[in-house]
Amino acid sequence: DGGITQSPKYLFRKEGQNVTLSCEQNLNHDAMYWYRQDPGQGLRLIYYSQIVNDFQKGDIAEGYSVSREKKESFPLTVTSAQKNPTAFYLCASSRTDWDFYGYTFGSGTRLTVV
């Protein structure tokens, strides 16, 4: 079955470390997205990519970086510059960035700073 796989499900980071969250899709979707979810805040866009080798900053990109070297993959790196990284991270994809079918989401990664 096609879908989006996020790994790991739980991730612990020490202060000052960079960590990378994986997102892989086999839906042949062109567009991919990273959202951060905090209690009471809804979902906020970190980065998105409409095509391979291209990506744009979202509303809260500071302290994060991404790459899009393959259509299927859109990893997110949480750098030490991100002051409050503890959150739930959701990856999503869509056929294009204007898609009435909406987005397909992964099952998320819970990141905790220890």
Partner 1 sequence: AQTVTQSQPEMSVQEAETVTLSCTYDTSESNYYLFWYKQPPSRQMILVIRQEAYKQQNATENRFSVNFQKAAKSFSLKISDSQLGDTAMYFCAFMTRLNYGGSQGNLIFGKGTKLSVKP
Q: Which residues bind partner 1 (CB under 8 A)?
A: 33, 35, 40-45, 48, 50, 56, 58, 88, 90, 92, 96-103, 105, 107-108
Can you tell me which residue has the tokens 């096609």?
Answer: 2
Between strands 54-57 and 19-25, the pairing is unpaired
| CB of 49 closer than 8 Å to CB of 37 | no
Supply the minimum distance, in Å, between the C-beta of residue 67 and partner 1: 18
| CB of 9 closer than 8 Å to CB of 110 | yes
Taking every pair of Cα atoms in the chain, the longest distance, rounded to a whole number of angstroms, is: 41
| Integer Cα distance of 7 and 91 in angstroms | 10
Supply the minimum distance, in Å, between the C-beta of residue 40 and partner 1: 6
Tell me phi and psi for residue 72, to 5 degrees: -80, -15
Supply the minimum distance, in Å, between the C-beta of residue 74 and partner 1: 13
